[in-house]
Amino acid sequence: MRIGMPLSYSGGITDVAARLRDYEAAGVDIVFVPEAYSYDSVSLLGYLAAATDRIGLATSVLNTYTRTPSLLAMTAAGLDHVSGGRFTLGIGASGPQVVEGFHGVPYRAPLGRAREVAGICRAVWRREEVRHDGTHFQVPLSAERGGSGQGKALKLINTPVRERIPMMLGAMGDKAVALAAELFEAWQPMFFLPEAADAVFGAGLGKGRASRDAALGELDVVAPSYLAVVDDADEEAAALSQVREHLALYVGGMGARGKNFYTDLVVRFGYEAEALRVQDLYLAGRRAEAAATVPEPLVRGLALVGSRAVVAERLAAFAAAGATTLNLRLLAAGHDRRLRDVEVVRSLVG
């Protein structure tokens, strides 16, 4: 099992980069840089590529609406080049708040777009000519469609480090999960509850794997979680409080009422009444109450928080549920404590 960690998009990347070599040494295999309405992740990843030697670098995720497939392919090839073949292109649909509200782009056909992105990116990396004749992106560049009529099929000038850069799809719904298992090297949901993973994701994964090209290899299941190795009851409570606050933010505030993918996922995990209550409280501005309402079994089930023995038990549960990479949000206060927690997990997973 690989160990990964997300990097915050709300802080300064230079401070993180200065410490990233320590995480490399402690056993982190890959870092995931998200992009919402923050600094763009591409700039940050280019900086990190120059500041590190071994660690894998991934977007988690670039939305498929604000960059064309060809630009996504060019970006991935560039980051793979400057990192010496360490890059993974993570894409996803994001949500209407970001895509429509922040970027002003219509939010529609997420599955069709993801399928086209995968195909076009791989064609670009193979240095094939890209023609504008697809459904969602590659439309004819003709005078009738407002173009100059001078569109030309082109292929990438550079020869990429790899003609098949790994791709990860961020997905939670059945059809999207099936698409990830069919066409992508890796899949990441927003939340992963081991005890409910098969019931919630199993059908989609099974359908996608039935159509999967063997050349893709086994699907890398990237499971997000939270990590704090603690024996003190007060420290444990403080770590679990961070988990609650993060869950409340997404379940309550990352979407509109009736259109929140994270709320829907927690409902599917078996917490319908609680999820809707968290959303009601959060949207009413009662954020502390919303966090307190997140159910304890869900908080503990999604996290690796507790003694070394508890963390080992939860790691076994994640592995049994099919997780092959852990994307661990580190909760401990202080760099040294976070490094120690990573080292504990590294020793437990081997």
DSSP string, 229-285: E--SHHHHHHHHHHHHHHHHIIIIISSBTTB-HHHHHHHHTT-HHHHHHHHHHHHTT
- At 134 the pLDDT is 55
pLDDT along the chain (350 residues), means of 10: 87 76 94 88 92 94 91 97 98 83 85 92 91 54 46 86 97 96 98 98 98 97 98 96 96 86 95 96 96 97 98 98 98 95 95
Q: How many CB atoms lie within 10 A of CB 216?
A: 18
Per-residue model confidence (pLDDT) at position 256:
78
Sign of CA dihedral 79, 83, 84, 90: negative
- Enter the pTM of the model: 0.92
**What pLDDT score was predicted for residue 132?**
61
pLDDT at site 139: 40
pLDDT score, position 154: 85
> What's residue 136's pLDDT?
56
Give the residues across from 330 on adjacent strands.
227
d(Cα 62, Cα 50) in Å, to the nearest integer? 21
pLDDT attached to residue 48: 93
